[in-house]
Structure formats: C-alpha cells, structure tokens
Amino acid sequence: MPRREIHEFLEEREKLTRNMSNYCGQNAKRFFHLDSQVYKGDALPAKTKELMGLVASLVLRCDECIDYHLINCYENGVNDRELAETLAIGLIAGGSVTIPHLRRTYAAWDELKRSPEDEI
C-alpha cells in the first residue's frame, strides 16, 4: 500500500476538517475540542501523551491517527530511541498485524526528520 507524504496528509486533513466543520453539530465539535485538550501537558507531559496516542493508534491500525500523533511526537521532541521503544510496546500490544503500520510509521518518521520545521 503506497504511503502518502506527510505534507499531503496535512493538506488533506486540513481540507477535510474545514469541510466537516460545515456539517458537524455542537456535540461533535465538543468532542474534537476535548480530544485536543487531553493531549496538552498536565500531570503527564504532552510528549508522553502523544507517545501514548501513538501506541493506541498503532494498536487500532489507524494510519491517519498514527501520522497525526507521529507529527506531534516529532514536534514535542521525541527522539529515535523513544520512538522505537514506544512502537515496540505497540507491536507487543497489537501483534504482528501492526507490522505494515510500523513500516509506514518509520518511513514517515524519516520524512519528518528530513523536512525543515516550517514545512510540518
């Protein structure tokens, strides 16, 4: 399965989110707000929460969610070792069916590391 580039993911996500906001009601908007708030640092730093979101996304095998949390992990200063340990937990929890998602995740991570900060 071909993986889209990170910038393509971000462009598509932004376009689809704008479109969705024209239709969804107040309850959906409240959910989206809660989702964005829960990942902010508090008792647990934002970096830790994004790593947790990445594991959950890997186990659920949601490539869009993986890309979203991977970008946030990158922006929160996650390093290669932290990423590898986090994805190993996802592999153990999710089993071998997560391996194709791991491949795409590491490819996206390489792309993020090559991209200038202002492109993300």
DSSP-assigned letters across all residues of the chain: -PPPPHHHHHHHHHHHHHHHHTT--HHHHHHHHHHHHHTS-SSS-HHHHHHHHHHHHHHHT-HHHHHHHHHHHHHTT--HHHHHHHHHHHHHHH-GGGHHHHHHHHHHHHHHHHS-GGG-
CATH number at residue 72: 1.20.1290.10
pLDDT at residue 40, rounded to an integer:
95
The model's pLDDT over 73-120, given as tens digits with 9 standing for 90+, comes to 999 999 999 999 999 999 999 999 999 999 999 999 999 999 876 666
pLDDT value of position 6:
87
18 CA to centre of own chain: 19
Domain that holds residue 65: 47-120
Mean pLDDT of 24-53: 94
| Any domain includes 94 | yes
Residue 114 located in a structural domain: yes
Provide the pLDDT for residue 120.
Answer: 63
Work out the average pLDDT over 10-31.
91
